[in-house]
Amino acid sequence: MGHLPLVISKRLLWVGRAAYPLENIVRVYTFVLRPRRAEAIRKFLKRAALLLLATLGVLFFVFIANAFSRGEDPDAFLGFLVQIAFLSVVGGLIWSVVDMLIVVTASSHYVLAIETNGQSTAMVSGNPRHLDDLVAQIAAAIDEPDAHLNVVVGALSISNPSNYYFGDAVNIYGGTGNTGKVVS
């Protein structure tokens, strides 16, 4: 894991080479960034079922073609079609297993997240106690114009952000006009 500086100076928060004006920070918090393991397994099972259905479709087509051949030798094209279907299914299964294993074997990360009033979110990793202390220090710096902070944090490196859960889990009950949220 690499390291990067987290610096507060002159009303700016620097995370590595990215600068965030302190007045644009709306939330600073820590959480455990967890991979979407259950969703990866569901996606694999769905892909495997689709591959099985496609294989059954090809086999049904070959069966029908052989039934109409009236005892003649099966066409070489049908054999080629079966081979291509078999290789496609094996390739699809290998790809699906690898895609699932990437997510299932990925580790969770304790992170410090800094959200702005735009689309930006900065995330860094490190020692949980250190990150929890940084939340208080960054929050205090937002209120203090002369604040200075210079620490080193861990650079967060994840292969594919879509493989992880980000943010709060929000459950909305009822129709329109909802104003609250339940965090689970």
Say yes or no to pLDDT of 171 above 60: no
Chain mean pLDDT for the chain: 83
Strand-pairing partners, residue 154, are 3, 125
Strand (E) or helix (H) holding 146: none
* Percentage of residues of the chain with pLDDT beyond 90: 26
In this predicted structure, the answer to whether residue 183 has a pLDDT above a threshold of 70 is: no
Residue 49 has a pLDDT of 94
* Per-residue pLDDT tens digits for 91-101: 999 999 999 99
Q: How many other C-beta atoms lie within 10 A of the C-beta of residue 142?
A: 17
Residue 182: Cβ-neighbour burial (10 angstroms; 0-12, 13-18, 19+): exposed
> Looking at residue 170, what is its pLDDT?
53
Report domain extents, the chain.
Answer: 3-35+106-183, 37-104
What's the rounded mean pLDDT across residues 146-173? Answer: 75
Q: Confirm if 42 and 48 have CB atoms less than 8 A apart.
A: no
pLDDT in tens, 103-150: 999 888 899 988 888 888 888 988 999 999 999 999 988 888 788 888
Question: Cα separations (Å) of 124 from 25, 86, 134, 156, 178?
Answer: 15, 45, 11, 5, 33
Q: How far apart are CA 179 and CA 42, in angstroms?
A: 32
Task: Supply the pLDDT for residue 37.
Answer: 92
